[in-house]
Chains A and B, each alone.
Chain A
Amino acid sequence: MEQRNGFMGHFQYCLSGHPTLPCNVLKFKSTTIMLDCGLDMTSTLNFLPLPLVQSPRLSSLPGWSLKDGNAFLDKELKECSGHVFVDSVPEFCLPETELIDLSTVDVILISNYHCMMALPYITEHTGFTGTVYATEPTVQIGRLLMEELVNFIERVPKAQSASLWKNKDIQRLLPSPLKDAVEVSTWRRCYTMQEVNSALSKIQLVGYSQKIELFGAVQVTPLSSGYALGSSNWIIQSHYEKVSYVSGSSLLTTHPQPMDQASLKNSDVLILTGLTQIPTANPDGMVGEFCSNLALTVRNGGNVLVPCYPSGVIYDLLECLYQYIDSAGLSSIPFYFISPVANSSLEFSQIFAEWLCHNKQTKVYLPEPPFPHAEVAVNMLTQDVSLSLLINTLHFQYGAQFIVYFCFIDWLIQTNKLKHYPSIHGDFSNDFRQPCVVFTGHPSLRFGDVVHFMELWGKSSLNTVIFTEPDFSYLEALAPYQPLAMKCVYCPIDTRLNFIQVSKLLKEVQPLHVVCPEQYTQPPPAQSHRMDLMVDCQPPAMSYRRAEVLALPFKRRYEKIEIMPELADSLVPMEIKPGISLATVSAVLRTKDNKHVLQPPPRPTQPTGGKKRKRASDDIPDCKVLKPLLSGSIPVDQFVQTLEKHGFSDIKVEDTAKGHIVLLQEAETLIQIEEDSTHIICDDDEVLRVRLRDLVLKFLQKF
């Protein structure tokens, strides 16, 4: 049974302005759901790099002074090649915290490991008491990213903390881009490991297509989004409303498990975020460009630096390089992977390695290995029952690539093709051999081991830094290293959906409404003529920006109501049309945990004895004697004939827009007959009115 629900609105609170690092809060039915928790780290580009080893160059940068020579900011701001940087611990731009009381958030749904980096700020500092839902790989890899971030910043303690420059009156006087930086007062330092652990402890693991009930009102389901290991889109639905949250999805076949598009169909609203940040760059072309530049540099005796995250694109690059290095004559070039979490990152592969390497002949069934190197992995698997079980579980959940990735990395390590170190200190300095290729973080070039390599290799034009992560502007990232002799190549690899794919996706799943960040509703500013680089759909997408509240358009507003069996038994349906029966119901509507149930009304208790006692049924409204419900239509001609039979004469009939008016001139009475109502208008002649009413009722069905 359904009930029209005209009182409940659905809203989206937009807490992030970054389309690929979203953070939205959805008020849906009676729940408050946070969709992703992305952390905008581009704010760190305004800070000086944190060198792992004392850098004479960075420490001798001149302080910045105002045009009038006032140098009160020279401790906080340093100048480098015409750019001004904050000399302090880097700070991050948090999602909006004032727009909505975040302690009221019931759940947080995470779509991929890049979109959970602000989690500790939300769960630990806002009074949040709810649950976070994410898939296992998302949590595992998200933890690595957070650990790495904390480690990068904590291992280079910086006494100084700059805050003067944030004063609004002072900020106005600063040169760009500091002058234009938004919400600087809300920028925060990095969280601690303790906060990370506490935040992660609030996460509940979920698997693809698992249905999670929220307070009986809403069901949420993660779906494979094809972008990264464990990445998900989410379906949020009630019985009659469905919201799809598409965030960071990919249709490329090289990804873990194909994107589940079918489940997104029949959505009332589709929230679309996390599209490719480089819509004009084709990932295949960029990988080719990456390989070419890498080969060209090492053949020429130079080193290659690849700033990267400890997970994600690095796997794709290693996979491509694996196919390429032998053919390009690069077999002798060492590849180093340096990250404080390198060991943890390879945890899975190490677990496998214990079991895998002995019996390479036995194959475990892996349907359609998606990579050329899958064969390597397959060959390494054994018949160990517990392992098979684990493999099957992981494979079922996240696709063959989950295993293949780690087996592949393990294979690279076993065969000495990839060497991994937690830091440049220790073993690395002994093994270090040039020319080489180094994969290390952080892609912002503001902290992590990458800072050391930039300082080390920046002076030689033989070396190349290749940017593959699309999150940061490479020119801004390089600014504090100028002047720079090393070659810089920008090969952003972003496998997320592009606008052509979005267009196809929307045609396929046909949502009633699309909601997306405002950046997607117009061409990029630098290419204003590229009308193909925007979301094109009908009706046009509703756009949002940071700190905006959006009322979501829902057409259907119904609630499901259950009828108790004994009440259903008492109903007496009357067929008013073939196949359609109606029955009147007298019941009590009980709503608990967002579930609505019709119960039989309590029977009126008989008064006992002669005492006048307050009736128990006083609690519920009185059940008045019910008037019968009427249905049917009045055929005017027959009605007029009936009137004539009953002695009325001088009857005129007029057609109106909504029906007819029967005019009894003699009786000075009007009968207005319309589709859903009939009015008898006569002068205080109740007898006549009742007579006429009874004649009208003869033409209608009663039940």
Chain B
Amino acid sequence: MDPECARLLPALCAVLADPRQPVADDTCLEKLLDWFKAVTEAGSSLLLLQEHPCLVELLFHALRAQDLSPRTLSFALRLAGVFAAQENCFQHLQQGELLPGLFGEPGPLGAAAWVAPSVRSGWIQGLRSLAQHPSALRFLANSGAVDTIFSLQGDPSLFVASAAGQLLVHILDLAMREPAEGRVCPQAWDWPVCARKIVCHLEDCLRSDAAPRVTQALHVLTTTFGHCHGLWTQGLWVQLSPLVACLLEKDPMPAPHTLVDLLLSVARSSVPSSDPGLWETVAQTLSRLSPTQAGPLAAGILKLQDCPQALRIQAFNVLLQPLACVLEAATQAPATPGLLEGAAGDLMAVDTLPPSKSACVGLLCSALAHLELLQPLPQRPSPWPQAPLLAAAVTILRFCNGSAAPSSEAGGRLCTMLVGCVRVQRAALDFLGVLSQGLGPQELVTQVFAVLLEYLMSPDSSPMVLKKAFQATLRWLLSSAMPPGCCDLEPCAQLVLGELLAMLQKRLCSPCWEVRDSGLEFLTQVTRHWGGQASFRQVLLASELPELTRQLLQDPESYVRASAVAAVGQLSSWGLLAAPSSPEQPAIPQETPLEALLLILTTDSEGFPRRAVMRVFTEWLRDGHAEVAEDPERFVAQVLRAAGKDGDWEVRVQGLELALVFLERLLGPRGSSAAAPPSVTARALRALCQVQLFEFAFRSLFDCDRPVAQKSCDLLLFLRATATPPGSPQEAGDRPNVASVEAALRRWRAGEQGQPLGELAPEAILAVLRSMDLEALRDTLAKSSDHVERSPQSLLQDMLATVGVLGDNEADCY
């Protein structure tokens, strides 16, 4: 502890102990506690208490005072726990009867303060901190604290109840850790008293008819098997599994969701290796739960690395069942391959779907979501029924837009429930998108594109559904590239693309801005991937899309303008924004894309379009866009001038990114250790001076927004390393006059940004760069802006200042 903190500590303890002095807020106490934790982790707690008796006095005061505020009392309990985590300090406090006082009957437990949830929470957290050693275990066993924890499991405050459960797990783990060492699996009669007591309690709860008690026990066990990895957990399962099995037999099954959590937690632990019977229990549970309840269990099982194949098949069938029902509902001929071939017929009956719309929709959505998460996993079921899943997703989407004909009355009910259901549409489109990772029979792929087109063309598709349809379509188009990585599309996808672009024209004219936005995003993506492909170019150029995109640069909605900027950037990169000309309409001289985007950068009132312009310009410079390549220096100068004046820090950061790309073009890529040859450097520096990059970079160095300054610092460091490698002697002779530069920089640092840097010679730049301690600046910038204010000393001062102890000491601003 630094001397200044040590000096302030007694005053602070006095303030905390004084009920008339209001403590600033809980955040201060939390910070203080964090600091004490750090101090005790770094050294001896006992020593700390001995050196600062005010701390023990504070704890004693908490024990005695009746009028201490709940938050201070809670703090004292947690602080005592932090100190007592070290066994010698625990004993020290134990001798002073402080711990029994704070955590036993004489303390807050029996006092009026106990009604405050914060005090009960502090009590639990204090015990949680001190329960680290055998002495603590004995203390817990003898003080009756464990019984109190049992009762706190049912506390009205959910935070307290949850913390109580976790504390039980912690105590159980602590108790079992030592005797279990070196043994394969200790028997129940070998367990320490404290552990036996907790396990007995859990057994009682599991036998109880009161659902909340069963749930509490299941929560504790779930946490235990999830967090404790000792072999003793296997013994615990042996002891408790019959009771869990009894729960599964009950009708109705109590707390089914919590039971599922427990079984999954046990399945992920080391228990299965010692108790193969677990799988049987899980299988029984799967078959007993309703489809909605069984979904999470099935998904959990399928994510396990190692479990019996039969169980995996059973679990997979649970997830597939709703989709199989959908397929069955639309299937005219029974011979159509289904999802659950070989399974019992009744599993597939459409009647097994919940009768209410909300339950049915919920079941379908969760099944789709589980399968979506499962698809990319290496341990996903194999063989993966790609074709039937595709068919199911397509059928669901068809039911949702009313184009699928049900084959039975039950199917008709399903159709009625799904028609127009946006929730299912979204889930099915997401799932369909994920399925693009696998192949499918050509006929089905054609159906996929057809249904996606239906959604994209339908005036009834909501903007969100449309966005999902665009995303899924893009994924399917990408997966249709043949061979993988090649930019040519399959003939089927080519056909689709033609229809897509026609549809896109209409979408870009939609009165709904979200639709225009999604449409532009899609156009940007497809152009990025197929802008070089002849057939795509032909279709695109024959359409109105380039012109429409250009017009959308003036859209009233800033998000749309930003997306239009990205689309124009992409179209222009591929030379797809040529001015329209036809015999009837001779080409009217239009502003070039570069001019149009520069106008947005300098005049648009919203940040999004300007940021988008900067991203496009950076890309253009990097990729050598034709219009940029004509005169890159002029381009960079224009852009940096605009970005330097921009009020949006992200635009300025992007300006520095563009400057960096320019530097790399001149000096070679970053990361290469070799310094550029002097001739290259000289040429580069002249170019940099010409585009006034230094003025922009130096100003950015003192930017009030830290990310801008950091980026600038990185840029200048790169420049210095490349242009003036370490050890390179400064050229003898004329030392350039850098005084004026340094004076300007000083003023800029002081916040006077008005004065320009003026004409700079490359030599002067190099000299300034050499003279600047950029590394130190980088380190300073790397620290968060409040690093000074976050010191413990500052914290103590603040807390004291709040109550006026420090007089006119200035409070830090957060």
Contacts and interface: CB of A to CB of B under 8 A. Distances in A.
Interface of A: 280-282, 285-289, 291-293, 295-296, 299-301, 320, 323-324, 326-329, 491, 500, 527, 529-532
B664 interface: no
B460 A285 contact: yes
Contacts of A329: 551, 554
A185 to B, nearest CB: 40
Contacts of B498: none
A532 B419 CA distance: 8
B423 to A, nearest CB: 16
B415 A527 contact: no
Closest 8 CB pairs of A and B: A285-B459, A295-B509, A289-B459, A292-B509, A529-B405, A532-B416, A291-B511, A327-B556
Contacts of A324: 511
A500 B357 CA distance: 13
A665 to B, nearest CB: 61
B579 to A, nearest CB: 15
Contacts of B515: 288
Given A327-B556, A329-B551, A292 B460 contact: no
Contacts of A500: 420
B583 to A, nearest CB: 13
A600 B512 CA distance: 74
A530 B554 contact: no
Given A291-B511, A529-B405, 11 more contacts: A287-B511, A288-B515, A292-B507, A295-B509, A323-B511, A529-B404, A530-B402, A531-B412, A532-B402, A532-B415, A532-B416
Contacts of B415: 529-532
11 contacts: A285-B461, A288-B459, A289-B459, A291-B511, A295-B509, A296-B505, A296-B506, A299-B544, A327-B556, A329-B554, A500-B420
Interface string B455-472: 000111100000000000
Contact of A299 (B405, B461, B551, B556): B551
Interface string B399-428: 000101110000011011001100000000
From B406, B419, B459, B547, name the one whose CB has the most chain A CB atoms within 10 angstroms.
Answer: B459
Nearest to B551: A329
Given A281-B460, A531-B415, A288 B511 contact: yes
B515 to A, nearest CB: 7
Given A285-B458, A529-B405, A532-B419, A320 B511 contact: yes
Contacts of B459: 281-282, 285-286, 288-289, 491
A288 B555 CA distance: 16
B548 interface: yes
B510 A292 contact: yes
A600 to B, nearest CB: 62
B458 A527 contact: no
B189 to A, nearest CB: 64
B30 to A, nearest CB: 48
B622 to A, nearest CB: 32
Nearest to B405: A529
Contacts of B458: 285
Contacts of B460: 280-282, 285
Interface of B: 402, 404-406, 412-413, 415-416, 419-420, 458-461, 505-507, 509-512, 515, 544, 547-548, 551, 554-557, 585
A430 B80 CA distance: 94
From A291, A292, A293, A326, name the one whose CB has the most chain B CB atoms within 10 angstroms.
Answer: A292
A328 B402 contact: no
Nearest to A326: B556
Nearest to A523: B412
Nearest to A279: B402
B419 A291 contact: no
Contacts of A527: 402
Contacts of A282: 459-460
A532 B547 CA distance: 42
B500 to A, nearest CB: 15
A291 B510 CA distance: 7
A385 to B, nearest CB: 40
A286 B505 CA distance: 16
Contact of B548 (A291, A299, A326, A529): A299
Contacts of A287: 511
Contacts, number: 72
A20 to B, nearest CB: 21
Contacts of B544: 296, 299-300
Nearest to B459: A285
Contacts of B555: 327
Contacts of B420: 500
Contacts of B405: 529
Nearest to A320: B511
Contacts of A285: 458-461
Nearest to A291: B511
A186 B551 CA distance: 56
From B404, B405, B506, B557, name the one whose CB has the most chain A CB atoms within 10 angstroms.
Answer: B506
A434 to B, nearest CB: 13
Nearest to B505: A296
From B511, B512, B515, B554, name the one whose CB has the most chain A CB atoms within 10 angstroms.
Answer: B511
A329 to B, nearest CB: 5
A299 B412 contact: no
B410 to A, nearest CB: 11
B417 to A, nearest CB: 9
Contacts of A530: 402, 415, 419
Contacts of B506: 289, 292-293, 296
B416 A291 contact: no
A328 B509 contact: yes
A529 B412 contact: yes
A375 B461 CA distance: 31
A296 B508 CA distance: 9
B590 to A, nearest CB: 14
Contacts of B406: 529
A373 to B, nearest CB: 15
A531 B416 contact: yes
Contacts of B551: 299, 329
A288 B510 contact: yes
Nearest to B554: A329
A525 to B, nearest CB: 13
A700 B28 CA distance: 89
A286 B554 CA distance: 25
Contacts of A323: 511
A280 B402 contact: yes
A105 to B, nearest CB: 40
A112 to B, nearest CB: 26
A288 B513 CA distance: 11
Contacts of B419: 530, 532
A326 B554 CA distance: 10
A314 B412 CA distance: 37
Nearest to A527: B402
B568 to A, nearest CB: 15
B419 to A, nearest CB: 5
Contacts of A491: 459
Contacts of A296: 505-506, 509, 544
A328 B516 CA distance: 11
A216 B557 CA distance: 61
Nearest to B556: A327
A293 B506 CA distance: 6
A656 to B, nearest CB: 46
Contacts of A291: 509-511
Contacts of B554: 329
A270 B64 CA distance: 77
Contacts of B413: 531
B773 to A, nearest CB: 53
From A288, A300, A324, A326, name the one whose CB has the most chain B CB atoms within 10 angstroms.
Answer: A288
Nearest to B557: A327
Contacts of A320: 511
A505 to B, nearest CB: 17
Nearest to B461: A285
A349 to B, nearest CB: 25
